[in-house]
A and B are shown apart, each in its own frame.
Chain A
Amino acid sequence: GAVVSQHPSRVICKSGTSVKIECRSLDFQATTMFWYRQFPKKSLMLMATSNEGSKATYEQGVEKDKFLINHASLTLSTLTVTSAHPEDSSFYICSTGSGEQFFGPGTRLTVL
């Protein structure tokens, strides 16, 4: 299956700063990637669908100006949390695949 990596695995930042999370598909041409966030003891919540070379599609209730997604190549999608606040602290995970989906290891964001 597809191998997906994320960087960084963990980030701590001050309130008001922006944080960029990278998602790389190491062995799969990822025309589409998905971004999720997960709260403790909860299931995954889809935030947006990232499409290579075009604008991302955001789920209802997700602020596109706060969670900027760029998918400039078939191997890389980035999620930037702009002006992060403590309520943005969460576990962010990306996935890709066709039919079956393969997930990255996740990025734990803590905003102080």
Chain B
Amino acid sequence: QKEVEQDPGPLSVPEGAIVSLNCTYSNSAFQYFMWYRQYSRKGPELLMYTYSSGNKEDGRFTAQVDKSSKYISLFIRDSQPSDSATYLCAMSIYGNKLVFGAGTILRVKS
């Protein structure tokens, strides 16, 4: 079993839809949870960063962490074609290396 599980997709949605991306993990020691967006041939861009459990909202993006279920989510409201990219979840114990999910390919159709 992988330490972090993420469905690779691809996930295809129409423009304006609400997108839900998810990851599950097995290591209860993880405290820091991140979502990255990566366009082709570019470095990952940090979208959301959450410490421990809870929700965080930034514009069209909402990140949720449920440590009791070992489950994290990223919601994208009013999705746009420019949101088409690979979304990577990542988590760590402070100061330690990141553990990544496989990445989910998202395609938003206009």
- Residue A43 contacts which of B41, B46, B88 (CB distance < 8 angstroms)? B88
- Residue A101 contacts which of B46, B101, B103 (CB distance < 8 angstroms)? B46
Residues of B within 8 A of A95 (CB): 98
Q: Is the CB of A34 within 8 A of B41?
A: no
Q: Is the CB of A106 within 8 A of B41?
A: yes
Q: Is A44 an interface residue (CB 8 A)?
A: yes
Q: Is B71 an interface residue (CB 8 A)?
A: no
Q: Is B60 an interface residue (CB 8 A)?
A: no
Q: Tell me the bound Cα distance from A66 to B37 in angstroms.
A: 30
Residues of A within 8 A of B34 (CB): 100-101
Residues of B within 8 A of A78 (CB): none
Q: Is B78 an interface residue (CB 8 A)?
A: no
Residues of A within 8 A of B32 (CB): 99-100
Q: Tell me the bound Cα distance from A98 to B32 in angstroms.
A: 10
Q: Tell me the bound Cα distance from A43 to B97 in angstroms.
A: 15
Q: Is A93 an interface residue (CB 8 A)?
A: yes
A sample of 13 more A-B contacts (CB under 8 A), given A1-B46, A95-B98, A104-B43, is: A32-B95, A43-B101, A43-B102, A46-B97, A93-B43, A93-B44, A99-B94, A100-B46, A101-B90, A101-B98, A103-B36, A105-B43, A108-B41
Listed in ascending order, the chain A residues whose CB lies under 8 Å from chain B are 1, 4, 6, 32, 34, 43-44, 46, 49, 91, 93, 95, 98-106, 108
Listed in ascending order, the chain B residues whose CB lies under 8 Å from chain A are 32, 34, 36, 41-46, 49, 51, 88, 90, 92, 94-95, 97-98, 100-103
